[in-house]
Structure 1
Amino acid sequence: MAATILTEKITLNGTDVPTKQNSDGEVVAKEDSEWTDEEKKKVELNAKAINLMHYAISFEEFRKVSRCKTAKEIWDKLRLTHEGTKQMRETRIGMLMKEYEIFSMKEEESIDQIFERFRIIINNLDTMGRNYSEETLVRKILRSLTKKCKVKSTAISERNDLIKITYDELRGKLLAYETTHMS
Structure 2
Amino acid sequence: MHDLLMDEYSKLWDIVLDGPFIQTFEVKDGEITRVIPKTRQQYSEVDRKKIEKFYKAKKLLVCGIGAGEFNRISACELAKEIWDYLKTAHAGTKQVKESEIDMFTSQYENLK
TM-score w.r.t. the length of structure 2 is: 0.71
Matches within 5 A, 1:19-58: 19-20=24-25, 28-58=36-66
Task: Work out the CA distance in 2 between the residues paired with 1:94 and 1:36.
Answer: 52
Cα distance 1:46–1:97, how it changes in 2: closer, same or farther (>3 A)? farther
The match for 1:6 is 11
Give 2:37's aligned amino acid: A
Matches within 5 A, 1:9-158: 9-20=14-25, 28-99=36-107, 101=108
| Structure 2 gap segments, 5+ residues each | 1-5
Task: Work out the CA distance in 2 between the residues paired with 1:53 and 1:6.
Answer: 14
| Structure 1 gap segments, 5+ residues each | 105-183
Cα distance 1:89–1:34, how it changes in 2: closer, same or farther (>3 A)? same
Kindly provide the CA deviation profile for residues 118-150 of structure 1, in whole angstroms up to 9, marking residues without a partner as x. xxxxxxxxxxxxxxxxxxxxxxxxxxxxxxxxx
Pair member with larger Rg: 1
User: Could you say what secondary structure the match of 2:20 adopts?
Assistant: coil
Give 1:3's aligned amino acid: E
Kindly provide the CA deviation profile for residues 75-119 of structure 1, in whole angstroms up to 9, marking residues without a partner as x. 1111122223211111122323445x3698xxxxxxxxxxxxxxx
Cα distance 1:20–1:98, how it changes in 2: closer, same or farther (>3 A)? same
Give 1:47's aligned amino acid: Y
Q: How many correspondences in the alignment?
A: 103
Contact 1:54/1:62 (<8 A) preserved: yes
| Runs (4+) off by over 4 Å | 21-28
The match for 2:3 is none
Q: Which has the higher strand share?
A: 2
Give the CA RMSD over aligned residues: 2.8
Task: Work out the CA distance in 2 between the residues paired with 1:34 and 1:93.
Answer: 51
In the TM superposition, residue 49 of structure 1 has moved relative to its aligned partner by 1.2
Q: Percent identity among equivalent residues?
A: 33
**Further displaced range: 75-84 or 29-38:** 29-38
Task: Work out the CA distance in 2 between the residues paired with 1:103 and 1:55.
Answer: 44
